[in-house]
């Protein structure tokens, strides 16, 4: 039987630290991210174009790894970022 090693560090290309730290604070206070966090991240991707889609996807995935349980809000946002035709 072969045993494959699991990399303990997730391989994300670019996690936006501002949004990651914000999510950690929200999670510590409320056990979830705030709706403001969800809206601001989507605005920075689609409206202001300050964050690329891939960076946003990596950030959301990093936040999901940090959180024990996610709700449909963060899952919906991730699907929106992955959709090529928003």
The answer to whether residue 11 sits within a structural domain is no
What is d(CA 53, CA 83) in angstroms, rounded to the nearest whole number?
Answer: 10
27, 29, 39, 28: which is closest to 73 by C-alpha?
Answer: 39
The answer to whether residue 35 sits within a structural domain is yes
What pLDDT, on a 0 to 100 scale, did the predictor assign at position 8? 46
- Positions of the chain with pLDDT under 50: 1, 3-8
The answer to whether residue 26 sits within a structural domain is yes
Indicate the number of domains in the chain: 1
What pLDDT, on a 0 to 100 scale, did the predictor assign at position 65? 92
**Do the Cβ atoms of 74 and 64 come closer than 8 Å?**
yes
pTM for this predicted structure:
0.81
The answer to whether residue 66 sits within a structural domain is yes
Which residues form the domain of 62? 17-82
The answer to whether residue 33 sits within a structural domain is yes
């Amino acid at each position: 039987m072969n045993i494959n090693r699991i990399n303990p560090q997730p391989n994300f290309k670019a996690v936006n630290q501002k949004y990651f730290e914000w999510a950690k604070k929200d999670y510590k206070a409320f056990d979830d991210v705030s709706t403001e966090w969800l809206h601001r991240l989507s605005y920075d991707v689609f409206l202001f174009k300050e964050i690329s889609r891939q960076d946003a996807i990596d950030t959301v995935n990093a936040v999901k790894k940090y959180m024990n349980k996610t709700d449909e809000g963060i899952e919906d946002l991730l699907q929106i970022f992955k959709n090529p035709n928003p």
